[in-house]
Structure 1
Amino acid sequence: MTGGPVSLAGASDELPEYKRARRTQIVNAALAALKEHDYEQIQMRDVAERADVALGTLYRYFGSKEHVYAAVLAEWAQPVFVADDSDSRPAVQRLRAKVRAIVTSFEKRPGFFKVCLLLQNSTDPAAAQMMDEFAEVATRTLAHDFSALGEQEAHDAAVMLWGIINTVLSAAILRGHPMAHAYRISEAFVDLVAPRFPDDQRGR
């Protein structure tokens, strides 16, 4: 379905409140560590120390470093990848704003994009599941703004746009291409699709 808001709700929703609080404490600590250090430099014991929990406690919540950082990405991306039904702008304007927000988020935190790419190939089942959910939510959020095209076309357009965003960000962050190209190419796809929207959903 493309018509309703979507969210990055994880396994924490099933935990008792005190365990959700502890899990959030761990995720926030891991997030802070990634803002200061490269992923490769961070050890599970570093996360445990920042979260003020025993290492064994950390492993009860997350079976691996990859699992922790899949949860970190989901938490960090929440403001960008949640559809907002209260936004009354025409759909094409919302899409342009969404694309800019996604690219800007990773431009500001290129290390997070590198972790995102790394975890897409994770062999940890829990991390892999969370990354699959991450990609699904990103696609469904974009499809929400394409919904005027009909369900199947909205889904197809969202999958293509998410793939384009990943490709242009990889070129910019991993291979040094100008970040301006990432913005231009991503928004160009929206411009190509815009004529298929009803007039009142195109905006200016």
Structure 2
Amino acid sequence: MTETIERPLTHAQEARRQRVIDAAIELALEGGYEAVQMRDVATRADVAMGTVYRYFTSKDHLLAATLVFWVEQLQDHLRQQPALGETPAARVLEVLDRALRAMNRQPTLVAAVFLSLSSPDPEAVRCQMKIAELMDAIVFEAIGTPAPIDTPVRSRMIGHIWYSSLVGWVNGWSSVDHVHNELRIAAELLLPNGLEMETH
């Protein structure tokens, strides 16, 4: 079996790939999931169709990649302006509330990318795994130090609750306030005061 070696993109290739992501974001903001058609993405990004498919195997891969990009931006922003709560639970809730407010400003985009997260496309699945990894890191960093001994497990559980709550909001049977309350309860239960701590 031949192993595929992924080479880093050149600056020009990275710029073209980013134009494709930006075009997908614009189309999703305008019309949601159905508005993101690969031919329209190519036209909006001013690249050939072959260029779009060079970087993204499918529409779902592209939309999942836009969420990776968004979460990476969120992580960078949070590192520049970290949460200031006095307890781990307060900091985690502040971080997730910031993300929730940003999502609430662009619901059609959020709905589009969340549809892609159920795709079986292998490349979309890789993006799903990357998003989970990034969210774990965001929650872990918000918890801070000293941290609970089992912080990775607690971070992952909060991430699961975050995702499932957002699915309800995206599908219209839950509200932003409900998502906030679910996250508050999860943070308080999983990160109560008096946890056994150790410095990492």
TM over 0.5: yes
Verify the 8 A CA contact 1:120 1:131 in the aligned structure 2: yes
SS in 1 for 2:75: coil
Q: Which amino acid aligns with 2:151?
A: A
Q: How does 1:163-178 map to 2 (within 5 A)?
A: 163-178=160-175
- Stretch deviating more after TM superposition (136-145 or 108-117): 108-117
Query: 2:23 matched to 1:33?
Result: no
Matched residue, 1:95: 92
Whether the aligned pair in 2 keeps the contact of 1:149 and 1:196 (CA below 8 Å) is: no
Identity %, equivalent residues: 25
Task: Name the CA shift for 1:172/1:87 in 2 (closer, same or farther; >3 Å).
Answer: closer
Q: Which residue of 1 aligns with 2:3?
A: none
Supply the distance in 1 between the matched residues of 2:118 and 2:173 (Cα, whole angstroms).
22
d(CA) in 2 for partners of 1:100, 1:108:
12
> What whole-Å deviation, never above 9, does each CA across 1:149-203 have from its counterpart, x for those lacking one?
345x2111111111111222222331432321111221222233231369xxxxx
Give 1:9's aligned residue: none
**TM norm structure 2:** 0.81
Q: 2:114 aligns with which of 111, 117, 125?
A: 117
Once the two structures are superposed, residues 20-52 of structure 1 have per-residue CA deviations (whole angstroms, 9 ceiling, x without a partner) of 111111111111111111212321000000001
Alignment partner of 1:135 is 2:132: yes
Q: Tell me whether 1:196 sits opposite 2:194 in the alignment.
A: yes
Residue 88 of structure 1: how far off its partner (Å): 7.4
Q: Structure 1-normalised TM-score?
A: 0.79
Distance of 1:180 and 1:131 partners within structure 2:
25
**Which protein, 1 or 2, shows the higher relative CO under an 8 Å CA cutoff with sep ≥ 6?**
1
Name the CA distance, whole Å, in 1 between partners of 2:116 and 2:182. Answer: 25
Q: Aligned residue for 1:50?
A: 44
Distance 1:34 1:66, change over 3 A: same
Task: State how far apart, in whole Å, the 1-side matches of 2:171 and 2:83 are.
Answer: 36
The 10-residue stretch of structure 1 (44-53 or 182-191) with the greater mean CA deviation from structure 2 = 182-191
Which 4+ stretches in 1 moved above 6 angstroms?
A: none
1:75 maps to which residue?
69
Between the aligned partners of 1:140 and 1:79, the Cα distance in structure 2 is: 13
1:179 alignment partner in structure 2: 176
Q: Per-residue displacement from partner, 1:71-115 (whole Å, max 9, x unpaired)?
A: 211122233234527637345343121020122222222333333
Structure 1: gaps spanning 5 or more residues: 1-11, 199-204
Task: Supply the RMSD in Å over aligned alpha carbons.
Answer: 2.6
Residues 173 and 118 of structure 1: CA distance in aligned 2, closer, same or farther (over 3 Å): closer
Q: Partners of 1:187 and 1:28 in 2: how far apart?
A: 33
Look up the equivalent residue of 1:149 and give its one-letter code: A
| 1:156 correspondence with 2:153 | yes
Instruction: Give the aligned residue type for 2:91.
Output: R
Alpha-carbon distance in 2 for matches of 1:159, 1:70: 19
- Which stretches in structure 2 are left out of the alignment for 5+ residues? 1-5
Report which stretch shifted further, 74-83 or 160-169.
74-83
